[in-house]
Structure 1
Amino acid sequence: MDIFAKNKPLISIIIPCYNDAKYIEESVQSALNQTYSNKEVIVVDDGSNLKTKKVLDNLENKVQKLITQKNKGVSVARNVGIEACSGEYVLVLDSDDYFEPSFCEKALQIFEKESDVKIVTCYSKWFNARTHITYKPKGGNIKDILISNVAMGSSMLRKQDWQIVEGYDEKMTRGYEDWEFYMRLLKSGGKAEVIPEILFNYRNKENSRNKKANLAKYDILGYIYKKHAVVFKDHFDLFISEWLESIRKSEAFKQQVMDSLDYKLGNKLLKPFRFFGLLKKANSKK
């Protein structure tokens, strides 16, 4: 063990877990394998099934705390874990993802050099059984985050900043809770900084929370826009111009598809079937 560890700031790594027997061990191990020595690992069992609880029981002696609660959602689980931690800095990690060993060390260096940094994130590998892509969050300040999230949901922040904004919104159970939380963090100033290295691995599962959130995207956006109406009004020109630009790109892509040879050929092939479908519908109303 590093004999100077006690002189370094403590980093608390919070891992909420819900029915993740297959991947939780890899996630916990990535926290334990961080090259930064002064750390604690806290796992919050958010009402998992028996299979997952058995895995967590085997991991209990490897982590500093294992907190068990009824299923209340990731926002509550994160808040419970952060409330129970002792670290000056907090790293949130989902139970099916994992960090590369040097993330904590490199993230802390940024915090210690730049006082206006409130969030540290990094490039990420999004992967599944078939393929992987590199995702590069853009970082930035409140103006940037009004358009889209600026950091991965698994990022590092100061516990003090979490306390100031009163944690994650526990009403948000369907997704985008990290985006809304970061919005409150940056509303009073500061920025999210991106480490330009792939130090995080995001498992892009078929039933991932991100994909489920996209099904309720516009309901969630409505909630966020209303909650932060004052901030959006303060940056109205920026928000509207970006919103209109996204519509323009969407319509341009739609027109590109309609102009493609495949679309035109498919449309001609399906035209007779549409005619007979309309004819059948008309006859059924007689």
Structure 2
Amino acid sequence: MSATISVIVPCFNQAQYLGECLESVFCQTFTDWECLIVNDGSPDHTKEVASKYLKLDTRFKYIEIENGGVSHARNIGIQEAKGDFILPLDADDKIASNYLELGLREFDRDNTLKVVYSEAQFFGKKNRRMNLPNYTFEELLRNNIIFCSALFKREDFVKCGGYDINLTIGLEDWEFWINFLKDGGKVYRIPNVCFFYRIKEQSRNVAISEHDFEETLRYISIKHHKLYINTFGSIPSLLEQNKQLLKKNKKLTKANKTNVVLLLKKLKHIFHG
């Protein structure tokens, strides 16, 4: 049976949150969906949690694979998906009950859209609105401004080649959006909070070491160096622009500022030694 939207939920050691995530999918006001739960070789009770939802509703599907990282798990899930539209959703996050309905409505209004996402909120250890800058591709190159749970067409995913499986410790969603949108395309943000990002004591983003983080940024900047040059004109120009950006934009979080600074250092090293 086909579905209009396929929700892809990779899960590794997140069984304690998986039920809340799947419940948010089950409660969607838009009903023509399927949800593929991808057990990425998780040693916890992911299968047991998933089985409850498999029995509850046939729109839930279950895939079990050897551990290969979130990029690999998402790619596998999307390969098996039947929907025309894809929504990645991490197992520890959740979505508002009208997210699929509102997202698809935007694609119905404008079929040339490439990405639709929403306003967002942190929950868990921290509870506050997520500060999301307005989308421009230039801003995306500076920092990840689109969370992973955005709607896009399956055909566009196929064209861009999917998530980079070399990125196993973080920032894979940022690199995906850079690759996905490098040739252009409209991006729309729903003016409603429809995505909830869980803040925990321990997560991939918290656990990543400074060395691994820098190496990941280096990998991304090397892979897309032509985009950075074509967009900003030159590395010195990029460095000066971002120096001014960091001074003026007081809304940037400490983590985002660190992200920008490290990326600029890596780009400078690549092109100037």
TM-score (norm 1): 0.79
Deviates more, 1:73-82 or 1:198-207: 198-207
What are the equivalent positions in structure 2 for 1:123-138 lying under 5 Å apart? 123-129=119-125, 131-138=126-133
The amino acid of 2:89's aligned partner reads L
The amino acid of 1:60's aligned partner reads L
1:12 aligns with 2:6: yes
The amino acid of 2:222's aligned partner reads K
1:236 aligns with 2:235: no
Is the 8 Å Cα contact of residues 118 and 192 (structure 1) preserved in structure 2? Answer: yes
Is the 8 Å Cα contact of residues 144 and 150 (structure 1) preserved in structure 2? Answer: yes
Kindly tell me: are residues 242 and 177 of structure 1, through their superposed partners in 2, closer, same or farther at Cα, counting changes over 3 Å?
farther
Deviations 1:22-53 (A, max 9, x none): 11011111111111111111100001124232
1:214: how far off? 6.7
Kindly tell me: are residues 27 and 182 of structure 1, through their superposed partners in 2, closer, same or farther at Cα, counting changes over 3 Å?
same
Match of 1:189 among 181, 184, 193: 184
Tell me the residue number matched to 1:32: 26
Kindly tell me: are residues 152 and 209 of structure 1, through their superposed partners in 2, closer, same or farther at Cα, counting changes over 3 Å?
same
How many Å separate the matches in 2 of 1:122 and 1:247? Answer: 25
1:135: how far off? 0.5
Is the 8 Å Cα contact of residues 139 and 193 (structure 1) preserved in structure 2? Answer: no
1:117 aligns with 2:113: yes
1:92: how far off? 0.5
1:248: how far off? 4.6
How many Å separate the matches in 1 of 2:248 and 2:213? Answer: 19
1:188: how far off? 0.8
Tell me the residue number matched to 1:157: 152
Tell me the residue number matched to 1:85: 81
How many Å separate the matches in 1 of 2:24 and 2:51? Answer: 18
CA radius of gyration, larger in: 1
The amino acid of 2:162's aligned partner reads G
Tell me the residue number matched to 1:226: 222
The amino acid of 1:71's aligned partner reads N
Deviations 1:239-267 (A, max 9, x none): 334432356579xxxxxxxxxxxxxxxxx
The amino acid of 1:176's aligned partner reads L
Deviations 1:161-185 (A, max 9, x none): 1100110000000111011001111
Match of 1:58 among 41, 46, 52: 52
Give aligned pairs, total.
Answer: 243
The amino acid of 1:12's aligned partner reads S
TM-score (norm 2): 0.82
The amino acid of 1:55's aligned partner reads V
Tell me the residue number matched to 1:269: none
What are the ranges of 5 or more consecutive residues in structure 1 without an aligned counterpart?
1-5, 251-286
What are the ranges of 5 or more consecutive residues in structure 2 without an aligned counterpart?
250-273
The amino acid of 1:34's aligned partner reads Q
